[in-house]
Amino acid sequence: MSASASARGGDLRLAGGRVLLAAFALDALVPTIATMGASTAVSPIVLGVLILVSAALKSVLFPIAHELGSVPTGARVGRSISLVYASNIAGSTLGPLLTGFLLLDHVSLEHAFRLVAIGTGMLGAACVIASRPRLAGAAAIACTVAAAWTVLAPARLVSEYAMRDAEMQPPNLIIETRSGIIHTLPHASGGDAVYGSNVYDGRINTDLRINSNGIHRAYVLAALHPKPSRVLVLGLSSGSWTRVLAQFPGVERIDVVEINPGYLDLIRRHPEVAPILDDPRIRIDVDDARRWLVRHPDRRYDLIVMNTSYYWRAYATNLLSREFLQLARRHLAPGAS
């Protein structure tokens, strides 16, 4: 009976390894196919099918893990089953947390795809080796080649899917964080166009003579208050508006709240707006604007500026709702705008 169970377990490990290796192959193909078919209409459908099949393959692993990890008889049946389910819940929770809150702050989206694929492949190789030790050498070589590919192969996924202008030029800068992807496009009229999560987010320009981003609107703000000393900016983006506000006479302090730290890197790379990062009067907090306002109920400002993006953009209602505007209004000083 024990020999039969051992043989069954070995077969299950081999089956699990094969499933994981198949999922690895699909995961590795997703960014490659996405890059090759970026301009085709069927690409999203093909990608969706690939991701669905990969997820379905991984779902097959749970009954295998349940069979291998649980004790069929005896006093430890309940405990072994509990450990299997607890491990499944822990993995399901930690996976998105580690990927979304840690991995994407250090690697690009495409490299995250590759690393997940490599992890899947290495786990599959370990299962195969546990069942067929003679394959250890081949598995080690395959894992080494896959790891080298992850590091050395160029990442073009985001560049191929990035929004283009009428001239169809590729992005000249791409910044990826867990909060979103930022890219810029050069423009003949002056000032790089900025896109956040593939939506137009302004341009890097403070010159009224160029005015490619409607920067005259920022200068008009000077007419709303005779001498604002404390200013709050909700949403930094390219930093152009904050750069203009810092030049208003009498401004003593500017607090800026921006949810995506990638914009700080963007600003650092453009001399037109980079001075705001070194201006002692300007404090930039990377935070959600609603949370920041709630946490600082006593702050009062002469001028609150929020150059909101398109109303249909994801999560725009968080900034355009009546509740948020009332929350911001409570931070206005007497006579403020």
The pLDDT assigned to 337 comes to 65
* Token representation of residue 85: 């389910």
Q: What is the Cα–Cα distance from 97 to 99, expressed in whole angstroms?
A: 6
The pLDDT assigned to 297 comes to 95
DSSP conformational letter for 333: P
Q: What φ, ψ does residue 37 adopt, rounded to 5°?
A: -110, 25
The pLDDT assigned to 4 comes to 39
What are the 10-residue block averages of pLDDT along the chain, 337 residues in total?
42 88 86 78 80 87 88 82 91 89 88 88 89 85 80 82 82 93 88 92 93 93 90 95 95 96 96 96 96 96 91 84 94 86
The pLDDT assigned to 69 comes to 85
Backbone dihedral region of 313: left (phi > 0), alpha (psi from -120 to 50 degrees) or beta? beta
Q: Identify the sign of the CA torsion 162, 166, 169, 174.
A: negative
* Alpha helices, H only, 153-288: 157-161, 216-220, 240-245, 262-268
Q: How far is CA 143 from CA 116, 150, 208, in A?
A: 13, 10, 56
The pLDDT assigned to 248 comes to 95
The pLDDT assigned to 1 comes to 37
The pLDDT assigned to 10 comes to 55
Domains in the chain: boundaries: 2-155, 207-329
| H or E stretch covering 180 | strand 180-185
Task: State the pairing for strand pair 193-196/199-203.
Answer: antiparallel
* Alpha helices, H only, the chain: 2-36, 43-59, 61-69, 77-101, 109-131, 136-152, 157-161, 216-220, 240-245, 262-268, 289-295, 317-320, 322-329
The reported pTM is 0.83
* Token representation of residue 3: 């020999």
**Domain 207-329 is of which CATH architecture?**
3-Layer(aba) Sandwich (3.40)
